[in-house]
């Protein structure tokens, strides 16, 4: 039986602590559900794709769960969509971490390793630098250069969809925004009040709650 429509669905494909993003959304007053069965994700108000660990393992688990079809349908129909960490990376064509394993391919380019000469993974707070010369809805209400929490060894290439970078041995893509598609390389659910503001902006975009500002 299909689940209720009008909720934000957090795709639970069995990789890492995917519940943390769900808990943060609920804390903001959003109507949000963890979903393992694709049949329970009919007509969502928004879709969140978290991810931690290795690109290849996440891509394979998402495919095996059947939730990859939920992600594709949401992106294609204009449903608000948020990818977090490896969930962001999965939007690209692939990753140098797992050659031959395709991503969703909805954003052009291949995810690459962080610049040479820096410690991998980056596990620290780092400051966002807005890019693109246009205000990003994802970053609305934040200071000009907010601090966010990162845990990663790979990152997408900087492209026209990149709205913020951080400095880690050079500019590293930190957030994207293109139409209904949002993504963060940092973990908003682990980034304190400012990270919750990013999630609140997403909730506002979906209309699935009345987030506290």
- Render pLDDT for 161-173 as a digit per residue (tens, 0 to 9): 999 999 999 999 9
| Non-local CB neighbours of 37 within 8 Å, separated by 6+ positions | none
Within-domain flag for 95 = yes
Catalytic residues: 85, 187, 189
Query: Which residue(s) pair with 94 in the sheet?
Result: 110
Within-domain flag for 195 = yes
Query: Given this model, what pLDDT does residue 211 score?
Result: 43
Which ranges of the chain have pLDDT less than 50? 1-4, 211-213
Query: Given this model, what pLDDT does residue 120 score?
Result: 95
Within-domain flag for 46 = yes
Within-domain flag for 114 = yes
Within-domain flag for 117 = yes
**Cβ-contact 186, 122 below 8 angstroms:** no
Within-domain flag for 212 = no
The whole domain housing 173 covers 8-206
The structural domain count of the chain equals 1
Query: Given this model, what pLDDT does residue 128 score?
Result: 98
* Pairs from 135-139 (Cβ < 8 Å, separation ≥ 24): 136/163, 136/164, 136/175, 136/177, 137/177, 137/182, 137/201, 137/205, 138/163, 138/175, 138/177, 138/182, 138/184, 138/198, 138/201, 138/202, 139/163, 139/164, 139/175, 139/198, 139/201
Q: What CATH number is attached to the domain comprising 163?
A: 3.40.50.880
Within-domain flag for 91 = yes
């Amino acid at each position: 039986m299909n689940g209720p429509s009008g909720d934000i669905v957090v795709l639970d494909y069995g990789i890492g602590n995917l519940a943390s993003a769900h808990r943060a959304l609920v804390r903001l007053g959003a109507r949000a559900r963890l979903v393992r069965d694709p049949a329970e994700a009919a007509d969502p108000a928004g879709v969140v794709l978290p991810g931690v660990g290795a690109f290849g393992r996440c891509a394979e688990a998402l495919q095996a769960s059947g939730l990859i079809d939920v992600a594709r349908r949401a992106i294609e129909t204009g449903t608000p969509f948020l990818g977090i960490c490896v969930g962001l990376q999965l939007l690209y064509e692939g990753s140098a971490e797992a050659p031959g394993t395709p991503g969703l391919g909805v954003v052009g380019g291949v995810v690459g390793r962080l610049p040479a000469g820096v410690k991998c993974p980056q596990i620290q707070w780092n400051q966002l630098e807005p890019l693109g010369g246009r205000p990003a809805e994802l970053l609305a209400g934040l200071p000009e250069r907010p601090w966010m929490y990162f845990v990663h060894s790979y990152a997408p290439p900087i492209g026209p969809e990149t709205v913020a970078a951080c400095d880690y041995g050079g500019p590293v893509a930190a957030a994207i925004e293109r139409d209904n598609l949002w993504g963060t390389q940092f973990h908003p659910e682990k980034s304190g009040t400012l990270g919750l503001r990013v999630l609140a902006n997403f909730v506002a975009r979906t209309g699935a709650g009345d987030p506290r500002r």
